[in-house]
Structure 1
Amino acid sequence: MRDDELELLRAVNPVRADEGPWRDRPLHGNAERTLNQLLCNDRRRRARRSLVLRAEGAVLAVAAALAVALSCGAPAAQADPAPSCQRTSSADAGGC
C-alpha cells in the first residue's frame, strides 16, 4: 500500500490516529508475541492436520489389508453339513 493510499484511508477514518486504544504505535511485547503466535499457528495447524490425515490413511490401509487377508485365508462356510449316515436296520451296521 502506498503512502497516499494510507493517507486517504486515514482521512476517511473517523477515529484519529493519535488517540484512543487504536492509535498508531509500536506493539508492546505481549501483543507482538500474540500476533506472532496467531500468524504461526496457521502453519502448525496445517502441519498437524496433514499428520493426522496421513495417520488415518495408514490405519485405513492396515484395516483394509487385514480384512482382505482374513477373508481370503478363512475357509468358505458351508451352507449344508454333509448328510450323516442313518442306520435303518441292524444289518447296515457295517458302513456308511
Structure 2
Amino acid sequence: MRFPVGAAYGGAVMGPFANGMTGGYGAPMAELYPTQVRATAQNTLFNIGRAVGGFAPVVVALCADRWGFAVAIGLLSAIYVADILAIPERKSARLD
C-alpha cells in the first residue's frame, strides 16, 4: 500500500456512509412483505445478502486483476443498477 495514512482517513470518512445506509432498509422491506412473514423475510434476506456480499471484495479483486479496476467497478455498478430496477414500486401500498 502506497498511502496507508490516506487509506485510513478515507476509510474514516466513508465508514459512516457505508454503515449509515443500512438504516434505510426497513421502510422498503416493510412494504414488500405481509405482516405475518415480514420479520422472517427481512432477517432471512438481510443475512443472505450479508453472506453473499462478503464475497464481493474477492470477486471485484479477481475481475480487476483480469480486466482492470475500471471494468470491475463498472460491473459492480451495473449489478447495483440492475438490483435497484428489480425492486417493485410499492408507493401507496396498503400495509397489512
Relative to the length of structure 1, the TM-score reads 0.30
More helix by share: 2
Q: Which has the higher contact order (CA 8 A, sep 6+)?
A: 2
Relative to the length of structure 2, the TM-score reads 0.30
